[in-house]
């Protein structure tokens, strides 16, 4: 699959994740977040295994591959989703948005030291533009950040766990299909989150019997589309083009989440929002390497 096609897929994944945000907020408002998240991720695991079974990609793992699965599920599922769910309840949306916006640059730095990947100058420019764009977009909705809290530390740990998981996925992809890795990660991770929920939110699982039709519609849509299909495609892209180029697309989450809020919730977009959108767009174009690839294609076609 060409890189440009993967870039288009990643934009689609970010759109789904952005629109998925209001759904997740609604779901976690109906019941405690860790219990809710464990069920949603278990549903995603069942979905991914079903898809891979019919495509013939399900197989037994080697001992070395199981180590990747355990590390990936601990970082990408348990640590990331636990600290995100708890952190969001302890800090402002502005602070959380700014911290999440550091993900692509953190991925580039860790990729440089752990994977020996060397982003070009144009890619570094893209990372910086994306960070500035996220900052401008988030601050446009709230003129100032709140004071640092323990929730900010939780959000940072969530992003750190996610970034480190991309290094694991990149290494595992040499022998293990990232889509199968995703399925096993979800299965182990959902079990880990459920065990945590038994201690942190005892008896909360009984609330599932009291949920209405809208709740179940959103949890199925979020689990199948946002979590299962979205992460399966995203992790596949990590294995194909590396964590550094893939991570820059995370900035589009902010853009699509705000557009979704404006459309579904009637929130007002300002000039600062549009400035942030432009910076994010150029950041993704440069940071992903798409600009360089398009330029190379143009030069090759001119020589023909």
Domain ranges within the chain, ordered by starting residue: 3-203+213-303
Our CA angle for 275, 84, 256, nearest 5°, is 30
Question: What is the per-residue pLDDT across 142-188, written as a single tens digit (0 to 9) for each?
Answer: 544 555 567 778 888 888 998 899 899 988 988 999 999 999 999 99
- Report the phi/psi class of residue 116: left, alpha or beta, with left for phi > 0 and alpha for psi in -120 to 50: left
pTM of the model: 0.80
Closest CA to 61 of 192, 232, 177, 190: 177
Nearest 5°: CA angle at 169, between 11 and 189?
A: 95
The whole-angstrom separation of Cα 242 and Cα 170 is 6
54-87: pLDDT as tens digits: 999 999 999 999 999 999 999 999 999 888 877 7
Q: Could you tell me which residue, 76 or 116, shows the higher pLDDT?
A: 76
- Which class for 206: exposed (0-12), middle (13-18), buried (19 or more C-beta within 10 A)? exposed
């Amino acid at each position: 699959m060409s890189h440009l096609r993967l870039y288009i897929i990643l934009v689609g994944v970010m759109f789904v994740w952005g629109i998925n945000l209001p759904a997740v907020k609604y779901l976690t408002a109906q019941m405690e977040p860790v219990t809710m998240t464990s069920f949603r991720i278990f549903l995603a695991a069942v979905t991914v295994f079903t898809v891979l079974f019919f495509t013939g990609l399900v197989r037994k793992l080697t001992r070395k591959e199981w180590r990747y699965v355990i590390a990936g599920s601990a970082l990408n599922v348990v640590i990331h989703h636990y600290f995100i769910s708890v952190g969001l309840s302890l800090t402002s949306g502005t602070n959380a948005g700014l911290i999440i916006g550091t993900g692509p640059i953190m991925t580039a730095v860790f990729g440089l030291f752990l994977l020996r990947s060397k982003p070009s100058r144009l890619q570094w420019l893209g990372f910086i533009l994306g960070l500035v764009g996220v900052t401008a977009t988030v601050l446009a909705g709230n003129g100032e950040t709140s004071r640092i809290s323990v929730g900010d530390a939780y959000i940072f740990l969530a992003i750190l766990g996610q970034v480190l998981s991309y290094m694991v996925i990149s290494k595992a992809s040499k022998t293990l299909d990232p889509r199968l890795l995703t399925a096993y990660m979800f299965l182990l991770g959902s079990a880990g989150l459920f065990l945590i929920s038994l201690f942190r939110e005892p008896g909360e699982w009984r609330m599932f019997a009291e949920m209405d039709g809208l709740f179940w519609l959103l949890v199925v849509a979020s689990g199948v589309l946002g979590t299962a299909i979205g992460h399966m495609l995203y992790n596949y892209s990590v294995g194909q083009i590396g964590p550094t180029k893939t991570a820059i697309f995370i900035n589009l989450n902010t853009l699509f989440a705000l557009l979704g809020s404006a459309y579904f919730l009637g929130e007002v977009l300002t000039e600062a929002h549009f400035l942030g959108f432009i910076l994010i767009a150029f950041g993704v174009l440069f940071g992903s390497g798409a600009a360089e690839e398009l330029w190379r294609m143009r030069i090759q076609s001119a020589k023909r």
